[in-house]
Amino acid sequence: MLISIPPKYAVSQVVGFIKGKSAIHIAREYFGRKKNFTGQHFWARGYHVSTVGRDEEAIRKYIREQEQEDRRIDQLNLFK
């Protein structure tokens, strides 16, 4: 997703809002949940922000690496 955020809004607040509202919508629409994902994680913790243009390849690289990091963390959690 590529968006432009006006300077009066904090990037972290906008990203948190988008992640929160979309997780709730997806849970209700596709998983039949009546309640929210309390205590559960739906999206990856990180996100990519570019303030100097729209370098699509850098964004794709970040996403590829984030998927690998998520898999690594999931595998580590198997041993807990």
Q: What is the pLDDT of residue 52?
A: 60
Predicted model pTM: 0.53
Q: What is the pLDDT of residue 59?
A: 77
Residue 3 pLDDT exceeds 60: yes
Mark whether 58 and 25 lie in a shared domain. Answer: no
Mark whether 29 and 1 lie in a shared domain. Answer: yes
Mark whether 31 and 59 lie in a shared domain. Answer: no
Q: What is the pLDDT of residue 65?
A: 83
Rounded CA gap, 77 and 47, in Å? Answer: 21
Decide if 62 is catalytic. yes
Rounded CA gap, 5 and 9, in Å? Answer: 7
H or E element: which one contains 68?
helix 56-77
Total number of domains constituting the chain: 2
Q: pLDDT tens-digit profile of 32-63? A: 766 655 666 777 777 777 766 667 788 778 87
Helix, coil or strand: residue 30: helix
Catalytic residue among 9, 30, 47, 62: 62
Q: What is the pLDDT of residue 58?
A: 81
Mark whether 27 and 51 lie in a shared domain. Answer: no
Rounded CA gap, 53 and 49, in Å? Answer: 10
Q: Find the domain containing 14 and state its range.
A: 1-43
